[in-house]
Amino acid sequence: MKKVWSISTTLRNPERLRNFLITLKEMQGCIWNKDAQLEFQIRLIKNRYYGYGNTQFYNGLSSEHIDLLEDINKKISMEDAKDIFESKNYVGASMRGRNSYKTLEKMGLATIKDRKIKITSLGEYLLSDNYDLGELFFRSFLKWQYPNPVDREFSDNTIYDLKPFILTLHLIKRVNELCSEKGLKEKGISRVEFEIFAQTLTHYKELDSQAEQLLEFRQRTESIKEYKLKKEFIEAFKEQFLYDFVNIENLSDYADNTIRYFRLTRLIYIRGGGYYIDLEPRRKVEIETLLKTYDGSAEKFTKDEYIDYISNINLPQLPWENAKNLNEIYNDLVRDIDKIFRENNLSKKSHTLFLASVKLREPSLTLKQFEEQEINRLREYRKLLLKQVLKIQLQDISKIDETIDSLKNIRTLDLKPSIALEKYITMALNIINDAKEIKPNSLLGDDGDFIFTAPANKPDIECYYESFNSICEVTMLTGRDQWHNEGQPVMRHFRDFEDKSSKENYCIFVAPQMHRDTINTFWFSLKYEYEGKKQKIIPLTITQIIDILEYIKLLKEDNKGFVHIRFQSFLESVVELKDDENINSSDEWLRAIPNIVKNFTDGKL
């Protein structure tokens, strides 16, 4: 029996991978034996990267151990962590550490050299301050193959011979080619088609037949107009097509997760209202050269060769890293930016300066310098222009309604809720006032859309105004884990931001609701200090942001302006509650904020 491939559940939280790697680095150079494997798992508990907040893990632990794990103000010693681990009475205890390490090895983030723990160049990249998840996963997916020497699953080379990511790109390209030949619209493949036909590819030689079957399925599905009959046909087709696959129970979830992570590479994009997955047209040169170079088949490696290969961030050399292709990429970017200027009525002066800068391009750069400096500069400039275009579009009342509706239904959108919240709070901040720049640190696609959340070492959103600056941190967490994940990190991000800003600074914290421990932490920072100085942190619920947007919408409908000074006055009013003689606790502060919001939306502030 065959298996469908998918992104491992262990890769569903990249920050968890990074935390595991941070812990493993504490042991770099140690001999990787049973004692070290045990120590690694104990260190994960000590650092609260394993077990913390997991009610299943708490089963069998004493109340003292649970209290220690839950109280993040207390450090867990190695001795305490060892006691906690031993309380679990695991059979084959060192195996826990081996399993925690295995995911890092499969990703090429760590390896064992001469029996010693070593963080690889790919792992060091993930640990760096300016790591890009998109680049990390692109490098990993490019080399991901079945069979491979470190993975027992999919090891039967009579069934499996593929690189899943590369072969998926080939499948989308081939389906588009078939559509073109038949005079049909080229639109990539749908989520249902991805689920059935992409994740069931087991051999690169199946590509053509799989693409043809996909198109036949699409044409038959589109010919059925009644929804119920169409759904019945799809389910019957799935049952027949997948009859010899054994792991199809969660196929739809597998597909959603795989699409989400493939999108990180920036080589695919989502179209058709979020329903179709297509090749990213802005990366045409990269995709074409990649698919000409790799047919989607697995390569032959020994175990050591494979580990060295997947862990080296500089391998393989990318097929477009030559003068001809890099110049094509550069010229495509210039044309795309020129088009954005012309189609969106942006500054003519900036347009003229941009065209002049292209003519002054430095001719003596090496290929690597050309890619890292000139091409990346143009991509960043395009992002900046797309943000300007978005701000213009968001002045339309219909866009305000769309943002409000999305925030009201944040858990049911096509995007993962945490990503959706960063996206629509960014849009809300653009709508609210005349900021100089609203800068999300989220991972964005070439189309400017949100792909993944901001990295853990940066604020979610940075906001720059004429008279003040702010950051905005958002979370979908509502339990005590909100305090653990957001309390100290938010204040730390804010302090780093304050240290670089010469203006008055604020931090807006947005969540569905506030946990008492989070509010208590922010109240102490506001009322007393964090690292020796007070901080102006303003907690707002998603509902309160919606109320503010409704107010801004009314102003726009009445052709009334709204400037950032008024927004600053609102933020300052929340801060000044700390000096109210009737407010003496974090609970009282939190209960008073809705009145400030109401006064603001009633036009009294």
The predicted model gives 39-66 an average pLDDT of: 93
Determine the average pLDDT of the residues in 348-355. Answer: 85
Taking only Cα atoms into account, the Rg of the chain, rounded to an integer number of angstroms, comes to 26
Q: Of 301 and 561, which is predicted with more confidence?
A: 301
Report long-range pairs for 417-423 (Cβ below 8 Å, ≥24 apart).
Answer: 417/476, 418/453, 418/475, 418/476, 419/450, 419/451, 419/452, 419/453, 420/450, 421/474, 421/475, 421/476, 421/510, 421/542, 422/450, 422/453, 422/454, 422/460, 422/461, 422/474, 423/449, 423/450
Per-residue model confidence (pLDDT) at position 29: 97
Q: Between 472 and 434, where is the model more confident?
A: 472
Pairing of strands 268-271, 443-444: unpaired
Q: Half-sphere exposure of residue 236, counting CA atoms within 13 Å on the CB side?
A: 8
Query: How far is C-alpha 114 from the geometric centre of its chain's CA atoms?
Result: 35
Tokens describing residue 311: 């862990």
pLDDT above 90 covers what percent of the chain? 76
* pLDDT score of 11: 56
Say which residue the tokens 């079957």 belong to: 213
Confidence of residue 55 (pLDDT cuts 50, 70, 90): confident
- The residue-averaged pLDDT of 308-323 equals 93
Residue range 394-601 in CATH 3.40.980.10: no
For the chain, what are the domain ranges?
9-120, 164-311, 323-389, 394-601
* Kind and range of the H or E run holding 510: strand 504-511
What is the average pLDDT across 358-375?
A: 79
Instruction: Name the pLDDT band for 153 (thresholds 50, 70, 90).
Output: confident
Q: What are phi and psi of 538, to 5 degrees?
A: -120, 105
Decide if pLDDT at 226 tops 60.
yes
What pLDDT is recorded for position 8? 64
With beta carbons less than 8 A apart as the criterion, state whether 512 and 542 touch: yes
Whether the pLDDT of residue 398 is over 80: the answer is yes
pLDDT single digits (tens) 436-449: 999 999 999 999 99
Mean pLDDT over residues 159-179, rounded? 97
Q: How sure is the predictor about 9, in pLDDT bands with cuts at 50, 70 and 90?
A: low
pLDDT of residue 360: 64
> How much is the pLDDT for 44?
96
d(CA 200, CA 194): 9
Q: Mean pLDDT for the chain?
A: 92
- Give the predicted TM-score (pTM) of the model: 0.89
Q: What is the CATH number that goes with domain 164-311?
A: 1.10.10
- Determine the average pLDDT of the residues in 571-596: 95
Percent of the chain scoring above 70 in pLDDT: 99
Average the pLDDT over 67-77 and give the result. 89
